[in-house]
With several copies, the nearest count.
Chain A
């Protein structure tokens, strides 16, 4: 499963890298036009770092490396936020070589708490949290209903997608887009979008 996670993260990285332009364009509309560039640079760095971990089985170790690498290569707002998220997700998975619904739920919770502590944002401020929090809730509902990892993640991804849609309807009050005020309405948040496509990639990965 370590190798499995390794591949899952590679898939997430490829998705981010191939959506570099789309994420950048979204950011250009309401931010400074670098979200895709930053994230792609981060996952390029992760790719290189991961080579050394190909035989690593401890999921926590892999996630920690991903978090540290994102922190030291993404920069901007997304770097500390996603970096912290992966670092925090590493804790519940520390020493594990397999993931179950319960652990993934804890990982998501820890990641989101990390993002909130670091960024001091809450849901509804037009940030990645508007994708991630609904995703977490949907995941936990699935968990309560004893669904499979895939089913839980499918629900999470769908909720994230709706969260992205929701960001179009609101005004940003955190992040660079908040400087736009009303002008930010009508645009979808780049960070929420990158969160959603990462979750969706996991879903597609598990479906294979």
Chain B
């Protein structure tokens, strides 16, 4: 394992310190906890947004703490949901009386830990609600499973729900918007190469020189299948097909697109993917209102990418375009 780290046990702690040292204007530490919150309290009272999950997805989640997005982020061990007490600290740190919304990715561990934190906060009289992001169409949604995984689409939930909270909307409204994003966003990814969890010391999976993994998760979980490496356009078309099969797009529909790098894929390749996505959507008469290309929800040094498509209506479009000022996403 080749990594620029000191010891595997310290990566999260040292990363958080490095983030605060890099962005003191944006984030500060809740002392004693793996929690970063906004450096400055919002000017007026607003619904507070907390997200989080295992570490290793940087800039998610702490990179999106700031005006127009999150109020706090909880960092678990690498790829491991944070514990309830950590989430609870974040909730306490950001609550300013209008309630707190937890944005959870749909993994058993995350859901259980965040729910336990809600129980703790409720016992304290803090109003906390939650939304669960499940945008990954690689995984069949059936009543027999716990449903789909949450992946890069989560960032669009942060962006849009964050913008809504900034308007002063109440908790129910912010939750409604967050759920609207969740209902309208679909994603799917592929990997060329695995990541290596520092504490594990070896790759989570091993692919042959010519093999790719389709529909893997962002924690090195295996995907739907493996296949031979194909040209970018074919892989892209396959992922877009899967997304559109699940969420049909009519002519004239406006969408936002997120081409998300998983950590080790050069921006050059992400743009090559975007070229095909945009072309396919344009051919279908779909209008792309906004495109993000970059590393938003990574999987350590995994090589690969995911595509997210979000159906927009006027409300979502306006909120997506609203200003944001965070370490990893600035818009104005």
Q: Do chains A and B touch in the complex (CB under 8 A)?
A: yes
Q: A residues near B, CB below 8 A?
A: 24, 28-34, 37-38, 41, 71-81, 118-119, 173-176, 178-181, 183
Contact at B204–A32, with CB atoms within 8 Å? yes
Max count, chain A CB within 10 A of own CB: residue among B77, B107, B225: B77
Contact B145 A79 (CB under 8 A): no
| Residues in chain B near residue A81, CB distance under 8 A | 112
What is the bound-complex CA distance between A178 and B149, given in angstroms? Answer: 10
Closest-by-CB residue of B relative to A41 is B77
CB pair B81 A28 closer than 8 Å: no
Could you tell me the distance between the alpha carbons of A37 and B219 in the complex, rounded to whole angstroms?
14
Contact status B77-A176, CB under 8 Å: no
Q: Are A183 and B109 in contact (CB under 8 A)?
A: no
Are B84 and A174 interface neighbours, CB within 8 A? no
Q: Which residue of A lies closest to B108 (CB)?
A: A77
Query: Complex formed: what's the CA distance from A116 to B217 in Å?
Result: 25
Contact of A38 among B80, B140, B224 (CB under 8 A): B80
Q: Which residues of B contact A72 (CB under 8 A)?
A: 83-86
Given known contacts A175-B146, A179-B139, what 6 new A-B pairs fall within 8 Å (CB)? A32-B219, A37-B197, A71-B116, A75-B80, A75-B113, A176-B108
> Are B85 and A176 in contact, with the CB atoms below 8 A?
no
A181 and B199 CA atoms in complex are apart in Å by 27
Contact size class for B?
35 or more
List, in ascending order, chain B residues with CB within 8 A of A31's CB. 221
Contact across chains for B108 and A180 when beta carbons are under 8 A apart: no
Q: When the two chains form their complex, are residues B107 and A176 in contact, meaning their CB atoms are under 8 A apart? A: yes
Q: B residues within 8 A CB of A37?
A: 77, 80, 197, 199-200
- Chain B's nearest CB lies how many Å from the CB of A66? 14
> Which chain B positions have C-beta within 8 A of A79?
81, 83, 109, 112-113
Query: How far, in whole Å, are A72 and B85 apart by their CA atoms in the complex?
Result: 6
Interface residues of B in 71-93 (CB under 8 A from A): 76-86
Interface presence of B261 (CB below 8 A): no
What per-residue 1/0 map shows which CB atoms of B269-294 lie under 8 Å from chain A? 00000000000000000000000000
| CB atoms of B77 and A174 under 8 A apart | no
How far is it, in angstroms, between the C-alpha of A57 and the C-alpha of B278 when the chains are bound?
49
Given A38-B80, A79-B81, are A179 and B145 also a contact pair (CB < 8 Å)? Answer: yes
Partner of B145, one of A30, A118, A173, A183: A173
Could you tell me if B222 and A34 are in contact, using CB atoms closer than 8 angstroms?
Answer: no
Q: Taking the nearest CB of chain A, how far is it from the CB of B255, in angstroms?
A: 25
- If the complex has contacts A30-B222, A34-B197, A118-B112, are A181 and B140 also in contact, measured as CB distance less than 8 A? yes
Closest to A44 in B: B9
Identify the 10 closest CB pairs spanning chains A and B, nearest first: A32-B219, A77-B109, A76-B109, A80-B112, A75-B80, A77-B108, A76-B80, A178-B145, A72-B85, A37-B199
